[in-house]
Structure 1
Amino acid sequence: MVRRLLHMRGAPNRESLLPHKYSDWLMLGLLVALWGSAFAFAKIAIETVAPEWTMAGRLITGAVLLLPLTLRAGEALPRNGQDWSWLAGLALVGNIAPFFVISWGQQYVPSALAGILIGFTPLATLVIAHVLLTEERITPMRAAGFVIGFAGLVVVLGPRALTDLTAGGERLLGQFAVLLGACLFACNNVMARRAPEMPLLVKASGVMLAGAFAGSALASAITPPATLADASAASLLGVAGLGIFSTGLAALVFFRLVDRAGATFVSLTNYLVPVFAAVAGFLVFGEELKLRVLMGLALILAGIAVSEWRASLKE
């Protein structure tokens, strides 16, 4: 799958997005795995690496991974300011800003509630795409499917997390920060769909490069780079895993899939990633896998089936 992605060129398919092909579903599953593994990598990385340098490090690693592949494929990075403005915007809206505000918000928000708030991404994408993308209009079945999927996410993370919603002080600011991160992810989904047409490797590596420069500058302003000398080998490997799998390779899959299947379809990953993270935590760290995760997964899959029902009717 990754090898096929590396050799895909040319303009994206801007025609009708439905029905989705089997390859789209395979790429969606791969993207869920790549993004879902970030929780395990980050858990190891932040033990001795500051969160801001974890963010910058994953973008630097992603750039180091993708730039040589781009040059080896005979591609050239953009030379005009308009393309670089888009790439920088995608890096800011899709990586730097959401990672920063969500990390800040999680200082005051329990992880389960943060997961639910981030789960607003598909719903926000649905609304934004309806306004800005003529090919991705809201339909009753799609809206119902996304609501069912969100209900499944609440079951996965525990309905009790909703009781943590509060209207006071820093906790409220933290909740708004995580919700802002979800909205930024939604905006990034739509921005990626509307971005200028360019080869896949150029787009992915350009975003990583722009993000690496901006992310490093932000991290340096917060924490001196010299603190990385105290990082453990395990944490550095965690950062490398984040950069290679959850950032670099994920960017390739994300941009290819959003061009093929649309922003709304890609946003479904935000329902599935917490499930993958829970299963990965069970397999890797021996964390408890609760029955509600499996029940929530069933509800999420039902929601996806409902939202995509129109596709099956058109086949």
Structure 2
Amino acid sequence: MTDTAGAVAEARSRPRQRTILAQFVLLALIWGSSFLFVAVGLTGLSPVQVVLGRLVSGAIALALICAIGRRRLPRSPAVWGHLFVVGLLLCVFPFLLFAWAQQGISSGLASIYNATTPLMTVLVSLVALRAERPTRAGILGLIVGFCGVLIVLGPWNGLGGGDAWAQAACLGATACYGTAFVYLRRFVAPRGLDAIPVATVQVGLGAAVMLLLAPFIAMTPVRVSPAVVLAILALGALGTGVAYVWNTNIVAAWGATNASTVTYLTPVVGVALGVLVLSETVTWNEPVGAVVVILGIAVAQGRLRRRRSSSPQA
């Protein structure tokens, strides 16, 4: 009976696992292609307008998901205050920085810099979370990862041009991401709130900020085309809306550590789409640096140590 019950349970779990795997692949594709969508959006809109469209469409998508799923938004004013900070750090500031940066660098290079987010998170955690003491693996991973950043930056090519500022803006964006994740962990996660309403509020507040600022900073002329509209809708409704639901499902099924490996795939997708769709060029140091960054992330997260300890002994 026990074997039969186990076999039935395993058979039932297979479709679920296939669904989660499909969502994982789609998540990597959507988040990896976000930089392509930004590049397309910039052909007709300013960076501020791209971010405005992204956040508004993302907020609408998440609000619909909440309404369909009958998810209740948090009511505490303190929670809304914390989520306002998160909305600025996780949406408004980094989205603006990446959009501005992509006027000077390729979408593929921006996606590579986005992969430094886990390293920035580790760095901010070491400073802001006293309970998380620095480990040898964490410090070594940071060193290796930032060596990878230097390789991508290519200081031997000179750092006096606009591209250097654009690359610095990308690092500023990932620093915002890292700070936001630590802020979430410290002030929001302990409250045990449902992830999708939390995302709806933080993206909605970010959209509200952009709508309030739009009359002052987003009034430049636009050149709307079907490609631009589709790119903005994909950025918002998919990349900021549906993709978050997929990410929540993956974390629930596989755990946060395994779910975070999507970070390893997004720069691959971003670079490939930049080359194939936008005919962008890639210099040798960009993929090499990306590999070193990913190695640093793996070391900082202790993945290599766990794999060695779990390998069969001779």
**1:265-313 deviation line (CA, Å, top 9, x unaligned):** 94x7666533321112234344456666665555455444434134346
Deviates more, 1:33-42 or 1:249-258: 249-258
Query: Cα–Cα, structure 1 residues 53 and 133, in superposed 2: closer, same or farther, change >3 Å?
Result: same
Tell me what 2:94 maps to: 98
Indicate conservation of the 8 Å contact 2:29/2:266, yes or no. yes
Q: CA deviation at 1:257?
A: 7.1
Query: Cα–Cα, structure 1 residues 284 and 114, in superposed 2: closer, same or farther, change >3 Å?
Result: closer
Tell me what 2:158 maps to: 164
Tell me what 1:281 maps to: 274
- The CA distance in 2 between the partners of 1:132 and 1:203, in whole Å, is 22
- The CA distance in 1 between the partners of 2:200 and 2:95, in whole Å, is 19
- The CA distance in 2 between the partners of 1:302 and 1:74, in whole Å, is 41
Once superposed, what is the RMSD of the aligned Cα atoms? Answer: 4.0
5 Å-filtered alignment, 1:3-14, equals: none
- The CA distance in 2 between the partners of 1:47 and 1:150, in whole Å, is 32
Instruction: List gaps (5 residues or longer) in structure 1.
Output: 1-22
For normalisation by structure 1, the TM-score amounts to: 0.72
Q: Does 1:223 align with 2:215?
A: no
Aligned to 1:39, what secondary structure does the other structure show?
helix
Indicate conservation of the 8 Å contact 2:116/2:145, yes or no. no
Aligned to 1:62, what secondary structure does the other structure show?
helix
Indicate conservation of the 8 Å contact 2:145/2:296, yes or no. yes
**1:237-281 deviation line (CA, Å, top 9, x unaligned):** 11001112222234345667789537xx94x76665333211122
Tell me what 2:183 maps to: 191
- The CA distance in 1 between the partners of 2:55 and 2:193, in whole Å, is 20
1:211 aligned partner, one-letter code:
G
Indicate conservation of the 8 Å contact 1:275/1:293, yes or no. no
1:248 aligned partner, one-letter code:
G
Aligned to 2:70, what secondary structure does the other structure show?
coil
- The CA distance in 2 between the partners of 1:146 and 1:275, in whole Å, is 21
**1:2-52 deviation line (CA, Å, top 9, x unaligned):** xxxxxxxxxxxxxxxxxxxxx999987665433221111112111112211
Tell me what 1:241 maps to: 234
- The CA distance in 1 between the partners of 2:25 and 2:143, in whole Å, is 20
Tell me what 1:68 maps to: 64
2:181 aligned partner, one-letter code:
N
**1:175-197 deviation line (CA, Å, top 9, x unaligned):** 66544323211101212223142
For normalisation by structure 2, the TM-score amounts to: 0.72
5 Å-filtered alignment, 1:95-244, equals: 95-104=91-100, 110=105, 121-133=117-129, 136-152=132-148, 155=151, 157=152, 160=154, 163-166=157-160, 177-194=169-186, 195=188, 196-224=191-219, 227=221, 230-244=223-237
Indicate conservation of the 8 Å contact 1:145/1:305, yes or no. yes
**1:134-190 deviation line (CA, Å, top 9, x unaligned):** 6754322233234334444555x4x63563334x9x888766654432321110121
Query: Cα–Cα, structure 1 residues 116 and 234, in superposed 2: closer, same or farther, change >3 Å?
Result: closer
Structure possessing the higher radius of gyration over alpha carbons: 2
- The CA distance in 2 between the partners of 1:304 and 1:178, in whole Å, is 17
User: Which residue of the other structure, out of 41, 44, 48, is the alignment partner of 1:48?
Assistant: 44
1:71 aligned partner, one-letter code:
A
1:232 aligned partner, one-letter code:
S
2:177 aligned partner, one-letter code:
F
Query: Cα–Cα, structure 1 residues 186 and 177, in superposed 2: closer, same or farther, change >3 Å?
Result: same
2:182 aligned partner, one-letter code:
V
1:42 aligned partner, one-letter code:
V
Aligned to 1:235, what secondary structure does the other structure show?
helix
Query: Cα–Cα, structure 1 residues 121 and 297, in superposed 2: closer, same or farther, change >3 Å?
Result: closer
Indicate conservation of the 8 Å contact 1:63/1:208, yes or no. yes
Indicate conservation of the 8 Å contact 1:40/1:280, yes or no. yes
Query: Cα–Cα, structure 1 residues 274 and 24, in superposed 2: closer, same or farther, change >3 Å?
Result: same
2:29 aligned partner, one-letter code:
A
Number of residue pairs the alignment of both structures matches = 286
Query: Cα–Cα, structure 1 residues 138 and 94, in superposed 2: closer, same or farther, change >3 Å?
Result: same
- The CA distance in 2 between the partners of 1:248 and 1:100, in whole Å, is 18
Aligned to 1:75, what secondary structure does the other structure show?
coil
Percent identity of the aligned residues?
A: 28
2:39 aligned partner, one-letter code:
K
